A and B are shown apart, each in its own frame.
Chain A
Amino acid sequence: MDCIVTGGNVKVLAKAIHSLSRIGDELYVEPQEDGLALRSVNSSRSAYACFLFAPLFFSRYTVHSGHTFRCKMAIKSVQAVFRSLASLEKTVEKCHIELDDQNNRLTFTLHCKHGLMKTHNLSFQDSESLQAVFDKDSYANVFRSHPRLLVDTVMHFPPSLEEVTVSVSDERMWVRNHVEEEGDQSKAMLTELCLASDEFDHFAVQAHNSVTFCLKELRGLLVFAESTGLPMSMYFDEPGSPVVLSVTDSVLEGNFVLATLSDDPNHRKKNNSRRTHTRPPPPPDDFMNDDIDSYLIAMDTSVAPGSSATGPPTPPLSQDKDTQPPNKKFCSLFFGSVLPPSSQMSTQPVSSQQVLASDSEDDVQ
């Protein structure tokens, strides 16, 4: 792999990396024919982000076809290369990223003003591909707006707020903080914001759904979108299926995919207040600490044509029992196989090929 980023795009790349760092600790790098994919996932596999930079984003972009190179590295090391955004803009003229095969290093060279060159040799680990399965274009509800709208919305919530619930009707969107119904409910402050459809550039609702997801992981994307001014799109479907936020322009595409709380029909409470959406019963503890096995779906590297594409994407739940753990969990995201190069190689698979497989992290590509 060998590519060069010049001018203002260096800062864009840096910002993308910083926003990925809000999701997980590792950066997955995969140079593909249709562009460079940078991805990250959180430890509980409930948040995933991917930036795909098209070849045109770079002033030079060469990928060795045939030898698929994939790696992951500590995101903090990459952030260290692009540490100060302000000085990047002023001093860096171009950034050269090159794979040093012999020493197993990825070399980042910043060509700065006055002939100064900063070279960072970062070590990496081979990794399998990280690709979440989602098909945002099939989701029932789609919205697009200037990022300012979402930033202004999020501002009303405290920075420490974890979970937020978004509900929609034909003309309105409500955003409120999600409070667990057990525990210290009586002392929690509830905040709700109501947005009208004409504040959005695009507001298409097919299902009056309500989804709950973690706001913290989204803030990285908000910062990126606001600084680049790119319109943000939001896609969601039923509770349980992920919410996807994207920014797109001609040379890059960023997708942040967050798992949402799933609704267990046995426990669904109908809320007959003026807001006619349902309030799903919340998980008892911090979902990050829930038993990972019950909803962790790991990545699969093999092409499995006849593998069981099982039905609904809910993890095995103890629905028959009335005991702990309760039936409310964040549905994890699905990570699908990497299909052969001939088919799609974008950030999202074309079809909903959902594959459940055991954790194959030990596999070398």
Chain B
Amino acid sequence: MKFRGKIIDIACLNHFTRVITTISKLTKTCVLRLTPDNLFFVLSGKVANGGVSMWCELSQANFFDEYQMEGVSPEDNEICLEVTPENLSRALKTIQNAKAVKVKLTKKHCPCLTIAAELPTLSSISRVVTHDVPVDVIPRRLWNEFKEPSMPDFDVSIYLPPLKTLKNIVDRMKNLSNFLVIEANLSGEMNLKIETDLVSVTTHFKDLGNPPWGDDASQDGGPSQSRDPEAMAQARVDIRKLQQFLMGQQVNPSKAMCNIVHERGRPPDSAA
């Protein structure tokens, strides 16, 4: 098993750091899957995680100038590691001005992801900072837990309003109730509702736009074409989990969308 990657572009390094920092705010540990073309950060939706699952796919070519990997075997050309994203984030945050950053899988006292940065100095010799972040290698028999989750048949898909606005609203609603109902329809309208014995509060959004899914985008035909565009699909979620998701956002996505499965036991999936 080998992995070696090099980032030399400051903007790429910055973006990569922000993605990892966002993930570190969502979860203490997660799985990093390395394939020849991609890096995936995966959190499988177990009960232990409170039902929150996360799937983050990064195309390595967007970040790395050099990228070489050799998986566990030629047939299973992948590497699966359990990592603590906060350690990675800490290591990356202080080296944002590096001339070059190398990320390698190494074996020190235990398997590590070693992040080595060459920092600019006034002298002729660069300063080198090395961070060894311990990781756990995940054996092949557990790999199927970390496959890409299938998108459930959702009823409505809608683009979210700016995440900052959403965060402000959710922060205030959290003081009133533990659960929030998100509902949206195919006409670009979305409501956030809370209801307690004393008060109910609803925030309305409109003109949000609905992503065009088409026939190939989901299983079983996806959102039924015959669905009434005004009909709301609802889901009830734990406000704290939603807030946790919103709080960690550092990536400033160009689009964030929310797919709602009407009144199922599962919370909605949010994809950014």
Contact = CB atoms under 8 A, between A and B. Distances in A.
Contact of B130 (A158, A185, A192, A195): A192
Contact of A191 (B122, B123, B129, B134): B129
Contacts of A194: 127-130
B266 interface: no
A191 B131 contact: yes
A86 interface: no
Nearest to A171: B125
B108 A196 contact: no
A192 B132 CA distance: 9
Given A156-B94, A186-B109, A193 B123 contact: no
Q: Give the interface size bracket for A toward B.
A: 10 to 19
Contacts of B53: none
B144 interface: no
A156 B131 CA distance: 9
B124 A198 contact: yes
Interface residues of B, number: 23
A261 B109 CA distance: 22
B110 interface: yes
B90 interface: yes
A320 B130 CA distance: 39
Interface string A177-205: 00000000111111111111011000000
A189 B90 contact: yes
Contacts of B14: none
Given A196-B123, A198-B125, A199-B127, A155 B94 contact: yes
Nearest to B131: A191
B21 to A, nearest CB: 15
Interface in A152-192: 155-156, 158, 185-192
Interface in A185-227: 185-196, 198-199
Contacts of B94: 155-156
Given A155-B94, A156-B94, A189 B125 contact: no
Interface in B113-163: 121-125, 127-134
A156 B90 CA distance: 9
A190 B108 contact: yes
A185 B109 contact: yes
Contacts of A187: 84, 134
Contacts of A198: 123-125
Contacts of B103: none
Contact of A190 (B90, B95, B128, B131): B131
B91 interface: yes
A187 to B, nearest CB: 6
Contacts of A188: 134
A185 B110 CA distance: 9
A170 to B, nearest CB: 13
Contact of A193 (B108, B109, B128, B134): B128
A312 to B, nearest CB: 32
Contact of B122 (A158, A185, A189, A199): A199
Contacts of A189: 87, 90-91, 131-134
Interface in A242-301: none
Given A155-B94, A158-B90, A199-B121, A191 B130 contact: yes
A191 B91 contact: yes
Contacts of A192: 129-132
A198 B126 CA distance: 10
Contacts of A196: 121, 123, 125, 127
A199 B123 contact: yes
B127 A193 contact: yes
Nearest to B130: A192
Q: Most chain-A Cβ atoms within 10 A of its Cβ — which of B108, B112, B128?
A: B128
Q: Most chain-B Cβ atoms within 10 A of its Cβ — which of A155, A158, A189, A199?
A: A189
A159 B120 CA distance: 23
Nearest to B88: A189
Contacts of B129: 156, 191-194
Q: Most chain-A Cβ atoms within 10 A of its Cβ — which of B90, B109, B124, B127?
A: B127
A194 B110 CA distance: 22
Contacts of B112: 190
Contacts of A195: 127
Interface string B67-98: 00000000000000000100100110011000
Contacts of B134: 186-189
Contacts of B108: 190
Contacts of B132: 189-192
Nearest to B123: A198
Nearest to B112: A190
Nearest to A179: B109
27 contacts: A156-B95, A156-B129, A156-B131, A158-B90, A185-B109, A186-B110, A186-B134, A189-B87, A189-B131, A189-B132, A190-B112, A190-B130, A190-B132, A191-B129, A191-B131, A191-B132, A192-B129, A192-B131, A192-B132, A193-B127, A193-B128, A193-B130, A194-B128, A194-B130, A195-B127, A196-B123, A198-B124
The 5 closest A-B pairs by CB, nearest first: A196-B125, A190-B132, A198-B123, A186-B110, A194-B128
Given A187-B84, A193-B128, 9 more contacts: A156-B129, A190-B108, A190-B112, A192-B129, A193-B129, A194-B129, A196-B121, A196-B123, A196-B127
